[in-house]
Structure 1
């Protein structure tokens, strides 16, 4: 209970403050959700979607995983994507990476890590990520500059790589074929400034627009 107790206390305090500032707050949030955006982000604890966007409950439908990966064979992600598009009717998807991503760094260091020899879900995911970033990794290894700058460029390359997979998924393609409005964005979050940086976007089947 040492971990849960303070969280419960802060939860009660938060709920009380919400009721004091808006007596109808929980009555409204208990209504069926109607989010306008699906957020696909990294599981990193420093990158909470609602906090960094200032979004209210009910605005974002959220899926997070290590290194904001999009894998077409991942039923978890694809089911979230399908539900968001077909049932919640979201009109936007934001794929967001972040500088200092541990998952991307693990993909770089994988050959020297004990994780490389494991038969585990985490090992398979990082192997998949390293394979997906094969060309950007070669650029990373050739590039000059400090490690932080080089890793930031690789994080951006990962967003672009995952974005390309995202817009090719069956749910996204079906939405565009049916002529439904859907804007897809690829962004990166800067932990030092708190700012989101747009990298790429696409609003219909065709070529992405890079920022």
Structure 2
């Protein structure tokens, strides 16, 4: 993006001295975080001083990560990326809901303004949202929501319905995986992606791809579910049919 970030100017509200921070003085855990930030800033300045100059020029991330809000799944860390390389949406159970304007707006901004080429929906083992949805009862006939009494159950409604559509004997990990697939389908069906693909097929826009991954908390590994979709079929050379006995 061409938007330049103007440096903050010190005033009575912008003061980096932690001795002047009420929260840092009152809460030790807050102070530890702010002190950690100072340490990190000094370390980057010493080792990669060019980073700050690049940061203020703007961002051009190649990836949009649609992931869970779970604190154990920090996208930049587990992708081994740097600040500025990953655009992010995180919510309960890594959902992309078609009726959610916040999700649609973020996707549109990422593709049409920021320059993202890869949209990645990432679920993870031990997902609290999917575990909660797995244990909730199926909605009654003609009921709009499974349980409209709380924001959480309303937000989990698509996953609750998904769970009760799975084959008998399906476990939580099956639901976690199918939830990723559901959000991938929702991203693919979005106006932003469909428009981008239509333009790409005409040679008027870059190619954008949508992926589905799982993160295993027990190993720290990201697993590709091989459900990638793009403006054309995504296959390996070895998967292509042979012609006249040759690859």
TM-score, normalised with respect to structure 2 = 0.74
| Higher relative contact order (Cα pairs below 8 Å, separated by 6+ residues) | 1
Q: How far apart are the structure 2 equivalents of 1:158 and 1:134? A: 12
Q: What residue is the counterpart of 2:97 in the other structure?
A: 71
Q: Does 2:190 correspond to 1:188?
A: no
Q: What residue is the counterpart of 1:121 in the other structure?
A: 151
Identify the match of residue 59 of structure 1 among 82, 85, 102: 85
1:61-86 deviation digits (Å, cap 9, x = unpaired): 00001111111110111110000011
Q: What residue is the counterpart of 1:111 in the other structure?
A: 137
Q: Does 2:184 correspond to 1:163?
A: yes
Structure 1 moving runs of 4+ over 3 Å: none
Q: How far apart are the structure 2 equivalents of 1:93 and 1:117? A: 31
Secondary structure, in 3 states, of the residue corresponding to 2:175? helix
Cα deviation for residue 117 of structure 1 reads 5.0
| Structure 2 gaps, min length 5 | 1-22, 139-145, 236-247
Give the structure with the larger helix fraction. 1
Cα deviation for residue 177 of structure 1 reads 0.7
Q: How far apart are the structure 1 equivalents of 2:174 and 2:30? A: 38
Cα deviation for residue 122 of structure 1 reads 1.2
Cα deviation for residue 184 of structure 1 reads 1.0
Change (3 A) 1:9 1:152: same
Q: What residue is the counterpart of 1:134 in the other structure?
A: 164
| Structure 1 gaps, min length 5 | 144-149
Q: Which has the larger radius of gyration?
A: 2
Q: Is the 8 A contact 1:133 1:161 kept in 2?
A: no
Alignment of 1:8-87 (within 5 A): 8-87=34-113
Q: Which is worse superposed, 118-127 or 42-51?
A: 118-127
